[in-house]
A and B are shown apart, each in its own frame.
Chain A
């Protein structure tokens, strides 16, 4: 079974800072998801990627298949980015395996 590890567990940043959240997994995957969970609990999908890099606004996700590692970057962070960020790995025909999440707080 795939093991998904995220770091850091908690992160506090000043508004405007560049933020990086890391995710590593133990076995080969078909896709890696980045999700965002706001304090109310609902989860939205940010990215799904299997190679290279994707960008949406101030968010950038990268993946290195050989190193089994993915990063989520937030440029020019803002207090509204405060949330829990979760990575999840997809292997074969099995359900997603989730990391424990990184709690981000951006202070104005």
Chain B
């Protein structure tokens, strides 16, 4: 079955460490997105990519980095520059770039900084 796989589901990090969250899709979707979710807040866009080797900053890109070397993969690195990284991170994809109306989500990764 097609879908989006995020890993790990739970991740603990010490302050000062970089961590990378994986997002893989086998839907042949062009666009991929990373969102952050905090309690009581809506999903906020971190980065998105419409095609391979291209990506754009979202509303809260500071302290994060991404790459899009393959259509299927869009990993997110939470760097030590991110001051408050504890959150739930969701990856999503859509078939026709940022203009598409269909969005499929992964199950999410919960990052906790100790």
| Residues of chain A at the chain B interface (Cβ within 8 Å) | 4, 30-31, 33, 40-45, 48, 86, 88, 90, 92-96, 98-101
In the docked arrangement, what's the CA distance between A88 and B13, Å? 31
Given A41-B88, A86-B42, A98-B43, the answer on whether A93 and B107 have CB atoms closer than 8 Å is no
Q: Which of B32-70 contact A (CB under 8 A)?
A: 33, 35, 40-45, 48, 58
Whether the Cβ atoms of A98 and B88 lie closer than 8 Å is no
B residues 71-114 near A (Cβ < 8 Å) are 88, 90, 97-99, 101-108, 110
Inter-subunit contact B88/A48 (CB<8 Å) = no
Bin the interface of chain B by size.
20 to 34
Give the chain B neighbours of A100 by CB distance below 8 A: 40-42
Q: In the complex, how many angstroms separate the beta carbon of A7 from the nearest chain B beta carbon?
A: 13
CB distance from B82 to the nearest CB of A (A): 20
The chain B residue sitting closest to A41, CB to CB, is B108
24 CB contacts below 8 A, A to B, read A4-B42, A31-B101, A33-B101, A41-B88, A41-B90, A41-B107, A41-B108, A42-B105, A43-B105, A45-B102, A45-B104, A48-B101, A86-B43, A88-B43, A88-B103, A93-B98, A94-B98, A95-B45, A95-B48, A95-B98, A98-B35, A98-B44, A100-B40, A100-B41
